[in-house]
Amino acid sequence: MPVAGAPGILKCRSCAFIFAPEIQSEDAKLYDSNFGDTNVHPTYEKRGGKYVVRNRARLEALLDRMEPFRGEGRILDIGCSAAFLLSVAKERGWQPQGVEIAPWAAEFSRKELGIDVFNGMLEDARFPDNHFDVVFSSHVMEHIGQPLGLLSEMVRVLRPGGAHVTVVPTQFASPSWRLQRRFIGDPPPIHASFYTRETYGAFLKKAGLTVQSIQYNVELTRLRDMARSEATNLRSWQQQKNAIVQGQAADAATARPAWLGAAKAVVNGLGNFLGMGDEIIAIAVKGA
């Protein structure tokens, strides 16, 4: 059935999964070098004409959650973009490999970061069965029109007892949508699948994984934006993008004050209690 206020997007009556029916697979043309230069990305930004790591503390925190699953130390990042998470993982002794659809990002990761990145789709990389301790993806599954197929391939290359770790945006479970009917983020054709904690958890189980944890993350900046007009938010977003393109963005490595971290924890706790958030962080384990 159609989703009111979201043209071209449907919701399954039986399972509540929200999707764009015309989008089946990613198109590399959507993620050319111009996308890399102008997109506000969670793991990198351009500074002094070079891509540099962004939100390193968050990458470290994600890797901390993967440590209990380290066996041989093999980690795979699907849709790694400029592979800064894998670069940080390499510093910590992991054996990193990546898969990336955008040629510019794969080449950058190989040449500048020294990371083994396959340019293409996961199934074309033909990794061995049961090979990786951790298979990770961040802001990838929303681009896939048939998510169960990709999840099944991720499970195939994951070793028994290994962890599938995912970060996925949840536009239709966000406070912005639930409280104000504001759609934040990319519409089709860039985003094709739209998850909630429940629907994404169901996909993980269908792929043969046991969900260990699946939690919402609420972005504090999105809560601030809810108090401002859409025109004001659009201007602010464009200013941020312009600063990144011009290499004038504020230093993302700056530590945030302790009170902000405490506020974040409280807001996330409330968001999970109410069943809403801007993204999901999920950890699911492959059985023997």
Q: How confident is the model at residue 37 (pLDDT cuts 50, 70, 90)?
A: low
| Segment 266-271 mean pLDDT | 94
Q: What percent of the chain has pLDDT over 70?
A: 82
Query: 84 near 65, Cβ under 8 Å?
Result: no
| Residue 151 clears pLDDT 90, i.e. is over it | yes
Q: What angle (nearest 5°) sits at the alpha carbon of residue 269, between those of residues 266 and 271?
A: 110
On average, the pLDDT of the chain sits at 86
Residue 126: left (phi > 0), alpha (psi -120 to 50), or beta?
Answer: left
| Residue 255 clears pLDDT 70, i.e. is over it | no
Looking at residue 176, its pLDDT comes to: 93
Largest Cα separation within the chain, whole Å, is 52
For residue range 84-136, what is the model confidence (pLDDT) as tens digits?
A: 999 999 999 999 999 999 998 999 999 999 999 999 999 999 999 999 999 99
Q: Which is nearest to 171 in space by CA: 189, 187, 188, 183?
A: 183
- What is the pTM for the complete model shown? 0.86
Contacts of 255 (CB under 8 A, 6+ apart): 57
Q: Name which of 87-91, 111-115, 250-254, 260-264 the model is least confident about.
A: 250-254
Looking at residue 69, its pLDDT comes to: 97
Q: What domains appear along the chain, each with residue ranges and CATH number?
A: 24-286 (3.40.50.150)
Q: Which is nearest to 280 in space by CA: 102, 139, 145, 175?
A: 139
| Residue 74 clears pLDDT 90, i.e. is over it | yes
